[in-house]
Structure 1
């Protein structure tokens, strides 16, 4: 029998969320259909789906007017409607979900997306919370960085002239988007830990980290602090049922915000600011040999697990430094993240007899992912032959990162791959930066050609 899942959520997280859940459960019982309903209300997530339940479900009904983390349903048929629709027509939604056809996962690009979704669902503990903050911060970083980069089209110092279009772009990208980076990072770390009650204290803690000069490191600390304080209050405060609604709206945000804010102002802010100032000074005064070693390390990290925790640690480090106007690590990280799929694509062209027909076809898609700075494009190859592919891509990416740092290449935009290189003044030492990417791609391909064996029945 087909199993269904449903998730309900309304903006306030009170009435409609639970009315929709009850309607779906009742309709499913009448039809004899197994269903589990996850509710995302004011008190947080209840009846949360496990990875196994999602994998076993035939389809998912999303009856929501807010975010419900839909990325975890990648590859599954989804019926998406406003939450009110589940109250009005639960039977029709169930029939629509049952009639959905299972999605195919054979396509290479789909495999990459599924691998990314599986990794996201497998995250646990502190890493899960940190990545939740980073994932919500990234759109701001990307939008802000690209707007700043576009402002440089008019000249590297054009934004200094007040009232100009370049100044407006700089104000939007640097003054607004970048100013929200740390608060959003902190806020959604806290949200991941304590759900809605953690958001307000997390945002305030992140804003204080920015104001105090504690940077992204202070934002991370504030996010975890706010989240766990809110979670403790959520579990500890007990009120009569009629007053339970005061907890997520009044008591928890008030107390958690006060505790987080006071600790940031009087205890955490200044020491973390000193650490960030020291790091900024060290990176700014770094000699060539140390820069090469840092690039080597960051490059290898980007290729090691292709979008996993180590890769994300290197990327987060580089992105966090953008707010401190340090641009060389970002250049090294993006270049090193592009070379694994590009190197695999080149290897399939230069040594086709060492790859299956499916891998050669996949190489074409990998090239597109590579130029787009999607390192996960290498995952299907690495999964099939990890002991040859992973060392090869790590060597190529390490070389790229080292060369990028040695050339003192800078990158003011945190994403975009080859396309962002077309924006004038976005990349410092553009020609040498391109040399670093090409060199890493070539070395990756040559390593693969040396390590991989010719297939016995190669076509």
Structure 2
């Protein structure tokens, strides 16, 4: 029996990671293979592959979006590896196992890149940025939920008394203060993990501390912190600095302390001073200009921006364009700008839910498999995971992607116009119920309008597309 082990991960560690793992398991088992899949998601490593499972495996499948650590590469050293971006795995699941021998290559742990296409998966600025975002997510989610709970406690009449001389703080104030720590440390942890993704542990502590420094506006004497722009610049700079620093040969006596003492010390000293005198103030000024622009742009321009962000979110359903718009909106949370992330909370619900509703309204334009998957797509789509819409888009790319993109753009414009705000990642359609999206009435109005438009566009465009396809086939016959 052919034995296979697999690893799945994605930048956010939420949807793709687990959906691809399930797809690989189901497909491999249907072919009679023994399969074990390790997921590296938002909850950490689950179903961790044992040394024995890896040793006995005939092939290793790596469906990854945020790369592998050096430890992972060592685990699979000299194994036959089949690799592909996690965002492509669902599209190619039916052919993934067709010719494993021809499509695999022997992995050498000494290589930085796993294969010809791996640069786009494990390397590149976007993958490093998404590694930082993935690490920051738990801070924002936990902090956002605590702030929402504290706010609801106050709304129900509980006191919001701060700590002061002779006064005890109230429970609502304590919970809110703990939640605020999530937003305070979100940016330093993002910068630290961007650097970590580039050059591993030696870069982590310096990047964390220097990014924290860049966001301490009182210490820097600036109007604001460097925000996510500072995290990006500092994380990338320290990451590449350490990457090349690690190649330095200091001789037998000092090489052993290079990684845990010399590199962190020198990096922290160099970038600490550089950030205090130059990078911090410069990035803080740039962040202030950008925030001022976003807050003061005319409504017409804001609507255009909302259309663009919404269209990008709906276009490739978890792909690079979607991730770019998501990263921009998410990164503004640390600066307490919540309306752009409000677009994310609305638009990412639309493609899978609309596809499901369209199958119920006009089942004749969908296949039996698409109709059978409709409830799953609808329920998963309610959690802002757009991936269930991918099979529908693959079956009819032009009409489905056009419908999703147009509906997403219009809904994004409406959402920003109504100033719907989302304070943290949550549970999708129920976010207003736990205080993460407001005003709740505008949120549900935008979702309703978006779904109505998306369903209408899907039925109209796909019906026309199928009619044209039938006419072409008739002419060819």
TM-score normalised according to structure 2 size: 0.71
Match among 419, 428, 437 for residue 447 of structure 2: 437
Paired residues in the alignment total: 378
2:226 matches 1:227: no
- Whether 1:70 aligns to 2:75 is no
CA distance in 1, matches of 2:440, 2:179: 22
Structure 1 pair 265/4, CA: closer, same or farther in 2 (3 Å)? Answer: same
2:22 aligns with none
Residue in 1 aligned with 2:176? 170
**Matched position secondary structure for 1:161:** coil
C-alpha contact 1:130 1:189 (8 A) present in aligned 2: yes
Q: How much has 1:117 moved relative to structure 2?
A: 12
The alignment status of 1:412 with 2:417, answered yes or no, reads: no
Deviation of the 1:158 alpha carbon = 6.6
Match of 2:161 in 1: 161
Per-residue deviation, residues 358-416 of structure 1 (Å, max 9, x unmatched): 11122211111221011222122222222111111011111111111111222222332
Q: CA deviation digits over 1:230-269, x for unaligned, max 9?
A: 001001x103345432111111111122222222112211
What is residue 147 of structure 1 aligned with on the other side? 146
User: Which one of the candidate residues 178, 191, 194 is aligned to 1:186?
Assistant: 191
- Separation in structure 1 between the aligned mates of residue 183 and residue 233 of structure 2, nearest angstrom: 19
Q: Are 2:239 and 1:247 equivalent residues in the alignment?
A: no
CA distance in 2, matches of 1:159, 1:402: 38
The answer for the alignment partner of 1:317 in structure 2 is 328
The RMSD of aligned alpha carbons is 3.5
Unaligned runs of 5+ residues in structure 2 are: 8-26, 62-85, 94-116, 163-168, 218-224, 471-477
CA distance in 1: counterparts of 2:91 and 2:173, whole angstroms:
38
Cα distance in 1, alignment partners of residues 198 and 125 from structure 2: 9
Pick one of 413, 433, 436 that aligns with 1:422. 433
Is residue 303 from structure 1 mapped to residue 314 from structure 2 by the alignment? Answer: yes
Q: Distance in 2 between matches of 1:342 and 1:410?
A: 21
Query: Counterparts of 1:247 and 1:142 in 2: how far apart (Å)?
Result: 36
Provide the residue aligned with 2:128 in structure 1. Answer: 129
Check conservation: 1:182, 1:209, Cα contact below 8 A: no
Q: Is the 8 A contact 2:420 2:439 kept in 1?
A: yes
Does the Cα contact within 8 Å between 1:185 and 1:219 map onto a contact in 2? yes
Residue in 2 that maps onto 1:289:
300
Closer, same or farther in 2 for the Cα pair 1:239/1:260, shift >3 Å?
same
**Do the aligned residues in 2 keep the contact of 1:137 with 1:184 (CA within 8 Å)?**
yes
Counterparts of residues 201-240 of structure 1 (less than 5 Å): 201-212=206-217, 213-235=225-247, 237-240=248-251
**Does residue 354 of the first structure (1) align with residue 365 of the second (2)?**
yes
* 1-structure distance, mates of 2:261, 2:428: 44
Q: Deviations over 1:286-339 (max 9, x none)?
A: 332222112111101111221122212222222222222211111112101111
Structure 1 unpaired stretches of 5+ = 8-54, 63-68, 87-92, 103-110
Question: For the residues of structure 1 that align with 2:329 and 2:393, how far apart are their CA atoms?
Answer: 25
Structure 1 length as normaliser, TM-score?
0.74
